[in-house]
Amino acid sequence: MQNNIFLTLFVGQCIVKLQEIDSTNSYLKKLLSNSTPLLDGTVIMAERQFAGRGQKDNIWESEVGKNLTFSIYLKSSFITANHQFELNKVISLGIIDTLQPIIGKACKIKWPNDIYYHDKKIGGILIENVTKGYQLKESVIGIGLNVNQQNFNLLENKASSVSKILQQDYDLEKLLAQICLNIERRYLQLKADKTVILAQDYLQNLYRINELHFFQLDDEQIKGTIKGVNAQGKLIIETEYDTKELDLREVKFIID
Ligand code: BTN
């Protein structure tokens, strides 16, 4: 009988399951700051986070026991700090590679690394890197994925889940094992310098690429087309007048 359903070399080979924690990212970061030795690829998952964190200081809410909320520890010291967006590509592609065979091609990466199904969010990624000089030292990769949650209350027209799409529940542990396998595969592509493949696949799966849409900037709305992402991970939007390169705090998608 096979007990270990993680067919990986290292991602998820060491896994810690917590019933309740503030945030799996914060927990991992605390272990790192106490110099607790950790195996590359260690996964910390929680049934309940009472202070789950999202990007831009948002909170991440998730119904207890219904979804995946976990963090992966990676020894990312081969990545230079100015190439850290490669890690965003690796992780979002690893998730997309897993979800598209299950829910279909309408599952896309909303820049920089939200996971969308049509116009609804089903997952989010929070990457927290520790740097040493010009290199990354290690990374905490937090992933929240709506799997078996059915009700999103006020967010009903903004959020969805795998089970809402499939009309049936999906095995959480099986999904976690598949995600770890695909993240590891993409991470090994990065280690092998296959950055052209990662860039192509990232763009191919980017939500709203090459489509004309409205975007909210600080003080104006613009109409433009996503053309790609630059080396720093900024979003390239072409308008009638110019081409802009914008970071996460400078631009918001308008989705109605
Ligand atoms: C976002 O879309 O804003 C990112 C959400 C990331 C949520 C995950 S859940 C597991 C890990 N622990 C956290 O506190 N956040 C990440």
130 and 235 inside one domain? no
Q: What's the whole-model pTM score?
A: 0.97
173 and 222 inside one domain? no
Name the token pair of 221. Answer: 């709305």
As for how many domains the chain has, the answer is: 2
For ligand 1, the distance from its centroid to the CA atom of residue 103, given in whole angstroms, is 21
Whole-number Cα distances in Å, 31 to 52, 59, 136, 146: 17, 21, 18, 26
73 and 154 inside one domain? yes
115 vs 7, more confident:
115
CA dihedral 56, 62, 65, 67 (to 10 degrees): -70
Q: State the Cα–Cα distance between residues 81 and 139, nearest whole angstrom.
A: 11
For ligand 1, the distance from its centroid to the CA atom of residue 242, given in whole angstroms, is 34
Q: Residue 120 pLDDT more than 60?
A: yes
99 and 198 inside one domain? yes
231 and 190 inside one domain? no
Which residue stretches of the chain are H helix? Answer: 24-33, 85-103, 162-166, 172-191, 195-204
pLDDT digits (tens, 9 = 90+) for 36-73: 999 999 999 999 999 999 999 999 999 999 999 999 99
State percent of the chain over pLDDT 90.
Answer: 96
User: For residue 237, what is the domain's CATH number?
Assistant: 2.30.30
199 and 219 inside one domain? no
Contact 214, 221 (CB under 8 A): yes
Q: Residue 97 pLDDT more than 60?
A: yes
**For residue 3, what pLDDT band results from cuts at 50, 70 and 90?**
low
For ligand 1, the distance from its centroid to the CA atom of residue 95, given in whole angstroms, is 14
188 and 225 inside one domain? no
Q: Residue 1 pLDDT more than 50?
A: no
Task: Work out whether strand 120-132 and strand 114-117 pair parallel, antiparallel, or are unpaired.
Answer: antiparallel
123 and 49 inside one domain? yes
| Mean pLDDT, the chain, integer | 97
Instruction: Among 166, 187, 204, give the residue marking a domain's end.
Output: 204
178 and 62 inside one domain? yes
89 and 128 inside one domain? yes
Question: From atom 3 of ligand 1, which residue's Cα is the shortest distance away?
Answer: 54
Q: Which residues pair with 212 in a beta bridge?
A: 225
Q: State the Cα–Cα distance between residues 240 and 186, nearest whole angstrom.
A: 36
Task: Work out whether strand 68-74 and strand 107-110 pair parallel, antiparallel, or are unpaired.
Answer: unpaired
Q: Residue 84 pLDDT more than 70?
A: yes
Which residues form ligand 1's pocket by a CB distance below 6 Å?
23-25, 49, 52-55, 58, 60, 69-71, 114, 124-126, 142-144
Contact 196, 189 (CB under 8 A): no
110 and 165 inside one domain? yes
Among the atoms of ligand 1, which is closest to the Cα of residue 55?
3
User: For residue 24, what is the domain's CATH number?
Assistant: 3.30.930.10
Q: What is the mean pLDDT of residues 202-218?
A: 98
State percent of the chain over pLDDT 70.
Answer: 99
Instruction: Among 204, 223, 245, give the residue marking a domain's end.
Output: 204
Among the atoms of ligand 1, which is closest to the Cα of residue 26?
14
The residues, any chain, with a CB within 8 Å of residue 143's CB and separated by 6 or more, are 68, 69, 70, 71, 72, 91, 95, 123, 124, 125, 126, 179
Domain range for 223: 212-253
Q: Residue 4 pLDDT more than 80?
A: no
For ligand 1, the distance from its centroid to the CA atom of residue 156, given in whole angstroms, is 19
For ligand 1, the distance from its centroid to the CA atom of residue 225, given in whole angstroms, is 28
